Amino acid sequence: MKRRTFLTTATLASAGLSTLLISSCVDTKKNEKQEATDDSVEAFELEEETISNLREKLASGKYSSEQLVQMYLDRIEAIDKKGPKLNSIIELNPDGLSIAKALDSDMKAGRIRGILHGIPILIKDNIDTADKMQTTAGSLAMVGNIASKDAFIVKKLREAGAVIIGKTNLSEWANFRSTQSSSGWSSRGGQTKNPYILDHSPCGSSAGSGVAVSANLCAAAVGTETDGSIVCPASVNGVVGIKPTVGLVSRSGIIPISKTQDTAGPMARTVSDAAILLSALAAVDPEDAVTLESKGKAQKDYTTFLDVNALKGKRIGIEKKPQGNNKIINEVLDGAIKLLKKQGAVIIEIDYLDKINAFGQAEFEVLQYEFKDGLNNYLAKSNAKVKTLKEVIDYNNTNEDKAMPYFRQETLESSNAKQGLNDPKYLDALAKSFEGSKKVLNAVFKEHQLDAICGITMGPACSIDTIYGDRWGYSLTTPAAASGYPHITVPCGQAYDLPVGLSFFGTPYMEGELIGLGYAYEQASKKRLKPVLKASFL
């Protein structure tokens, strides 16, 4: 879960259309002479390579999977562990090279496992792997937790032939620990940095996944989201992120927050790569009942929706109220709207955000109840030394100097104080947030006959502040998150030298259509810019 305004104000109303000062996030001064932080960083042979290109080069023999893995490992050493020290990787897979070597042997023998055969992938450190890597959600309390079996999506990745080369850092406990957290910081992994301007936030909670993809440390990565945790780091790190419909991708074997809102999803440099990765992830899992709803609705190959003309004739809804009063961000949105129209889209002004934002407190209530229930169930079956949320809290209190050097754990504590999922307060909050959000979106889609709703995903990244926490401005993550609906974000420009994403979201299992819209916009705009690794904005 990303840094959310309701964690400090208990309401989303101020986050939706407020005029929160963007200056709290970035300095409006610009130093035209700002150099990259480390001139010694060498050009990278695999820079901006796509999955499709890598597959072709593997098939032709230009590269072996073992060579690809080694090149990405060298890149990680050069700029993630040394040089700029992006700190996006929390742990490397000690068996990565041997796995790649075995896949090379399979390829030579004509045994192609799937669409990701030999492709190096990173996954978030809240996803179980039954190998030598830990699963900790970034928490020191979870150190030593090596899963007994792969998460279902890890199983699907391995079946598709992916080489999981490591795990990415995240906002600890998926940013459900404190009201003053710093996105991308965890007690186990430290602070991840934004690769565009290093003293700025990578957002979260899938911070490491977003940064690693943007900085070319892997071919693509997997993140998870409760509210904004894929699309926010994708937006502020200049990459593509897809938050699928809840039910399209399994959650079993993933450290949970919310059974209502949690999902895993792809993060990649192109819409095409994100579609390939989603094709590998989407499947019915008997251990996650909600995935049964996707039967007959999921697609085997989401790349079939990659159409440069997908925007033509589509009715796209955009909130009629301005997204704050920042001139630069509004200019980015205006430019995106003009391009959408040029590509044949019909723009419809709609009024829906105030209604969604009114459910903010109810959403937070739901997440607290479900976090306690889900985490206790996960820990009870895990190999972690802590077996309940209460034991996590106690561990942090006992090891305060290392576990909580900057901010506290009031969200863990408030969640632990909740009753069970039969509590009338929980059921009432669930009806307001989940059902209420769906009702609002369904009504606006029907009334205006929309194909999608669009808008700026997030304002540009705020400065890293481990003491007082994040200070975000505009956010468009909640409508799709609270309802469980699909959401894609695509790079659409920069504000203050920091990336800004454009969101498209729709009704359940519209991933294919949203991929088409995102792809058409991406190909017409070409707004993805490589990170420059500036040390600071000034």
| Lookup result for tokens 């407190």 | 361
Q: Which residues of 50-70 are buried (b: 16+ CB within 10 A; e: fewer)?
A: bbeebbebbeeeebbbbbbbb
Burial of 210 (0-12, 13-18, 19+ CB in 10 A): buried
> Which phi and psi (to 5°) does residue 350 adopt?
-130, 165
For residue 454, give the H/E element and its range.
strand 452-456
229 labelled catalytic: yes
pTM listed for this prediction = 0.94
For residue 479, give the H/E element and its range.
helix 478-483
Q: Which of 205, 214, 503, 525 is catalytic?
A: 205
Alpha helices per DSSP H over 258-388: 271-281, 327-342, 353-357, 360-381
Q: Which of 124, 167, 193, 534 is catalytic?
A: 124
Helix, strand, or coil (residue 315): strand
* Residue 277 · residue 51 · CB < 8 Å: yes
Of 171, 150, 174, 340, nearest to 255 by C-alpha is 174
Q: Give the span between the Cα atoms of 169 and 165, in whole angstroms.
A: 13
Distances (CA, A) of 95 to 76, 134, 144: 16, 13, 18
Q: Give the span between the Cα atoms of 204 and 221, in whole angstroms.
A: 14
The DSSP result for 104-144, as a single string, is HHHHHTT---STTTT-EEEEETTB--SSS----TT-GGGTT
* Residue 180 · residue 407 · CB < 8 Å: yes
One pLDDT digit (tens) per residue for the chain, 538 residues: 444 444 433 333 333 322 233 333 333 334 433 444 445 578 999 999 999 999 999 999 999 999 999 999 999 999 999 999 999 999 999 999 999 999 999 999 999 999 999 999 999 999 999 999 999 999 999 999 999 999 999 999 999 999 999 999 999 999 999 999 999 999 999 999 999 999 999 999 999 999 999 999 999 999 999 999 999 999 999 999 999 999 999 999 999 999 999 999 999 999 999 999 999 999 999 999 999 999 999 999 999 999 999 999 999 999 999 878 889 999 999 999 999 999 999 999 999 999 999 999 999 999 999 999 999 999 999 999 999 999 999 999 999 999 999 999 999 999 999 999 999 999 999 999 999 999 999 999 999 999 999 999 999 999 999 999 999 988 999 999 999 999 999 999 999 999 999 999 999 999 999 999 999 999 999 999 999 999 997 7
Q: Give the span between the Cα atoms of 356 and 160, in whole angstroms.
A: 38
* Residue 274 · residue 267 · CB < 8 Å: yes
Which residues, including other chains, have CB under 8 Å from residue 17's CB and lie 6 or more apart?
A: 319, 321, 322, 323, 324, 353, 354, 357, 474
124 labelled catalytic: yes
Rounded CA Rg of the chain: 21
Q: Which of 65, 229, 252, 437 is catalytic?
A: 229
